[in-house]
Homo-oligomer: A and B are copies of this chain.
Amino acid sequence: MSCIGVLGGMGPSATVDFMNKVIQLTPASRDQDHLPMIVLNSPQIPDRSSAILGNGPDPLPILLAGIDLLNKMDVGVVAIPCNSSHHWYSQMAERSHAPIIHIADACVLAVPTTPDTRVAIFATRGAIKSGFYQQALRQRGIDFLIPDSDTGQDEIDACIRAVKAGQIQEGSRLLDMAMVMIAKAGANAIIMGCTEIPIASRGIVPSWLTLIDSALELARATVAFALEKRWNQSP
């Protein structure tokens, strides 16, 4: 019997949030109904956004070592609850025997396609520079907004840093500021395209914005894959 592999720790709270979402989305009345997972919580992986921006060491060797370890343990699918690391998706997917679910592809499927939707991408500066969300949205023909320093990006950066430091309340305050700024710029939906952001959004979901949670959408796709394979059914 195979299982879900999680390349995590980027950051650790985002990995736990993702695991919780997998558990919540699995129909279960006892332990044995749940889905097996092997989780590498590897917080020492160098900062992904800094590397993309050319300001820090390359995380790819450690990302690939994680992919190798998960494959060595025979996982049947890999989920990576960190958006920015998907800058190296093609290198990781090429290396992995198990398929890797792309977080942005999963997430973009949940963006409403009604003509009045104006979606903004809330992510690290590295993920924005990488461009994989823009590409995934364009492929579905969805127009989008990208925040700049006047429309919330500074607050998004600070929110992500706060959550990584365990300051959730401060993260929520900063996220709320960014939401107000981007709404003034015309957005009525937000892709929470960094897995720290859904942690900051708990309890502050405004009625005037549709929030699309990349961690939840990755969990949804992962659970669907694993239930289809019946990995929760004892041999």
**Contact at B43–A35, with CB atoms within 8 Å?**
yes
Question: Which of chain B's residues have a CB closer than 8 A to the CB of A40?
Answer: 38
Question: Which of chain B's residues have a CB closer than 8 A to the CB of A35?
Answer: 43
- Asked whether any CB of chain B lies closer than 8 Å to the CB of A13, the reply is yes
Which chain A residues in 12-71 approach chain B with CB under 8 Å?
12-13, 15-16, 19-20, 23-24, 28-47, 69
| A176 CB to nearest chain B CB (Å) | 22
CB contact under 8 A between A34 and B11, given known A29-B165, A234-B44 = yes
- Asked whether any CB of chain B lies closer than 8 Å to the CB of A166, the reply is yes
| Chain B residue nearest to A69 in the complex (CB) | B73
- Asked whether any CB of chain B lies closer than 8 Å to the CB of A222, the reply is no
- Asked whether any CB of chain B lies closer than 8 Å to the CB of A9, the reply is yes
Interface pairs A-B: 3 shortest CB-CB? A34-B43, A39-B39, A37-B41
Interface CB pairs A-B, < 8 A, 7: A13-B20, A28-B166, A29-B165, A30-B165, A31-B44, A31-B47, A38-B40
Residues of A within 8 A of B (CB): 1, 9-13, 15-16, 19-20, 23-24, 28-47, 69, 73, 161, 164-166, 232, 234
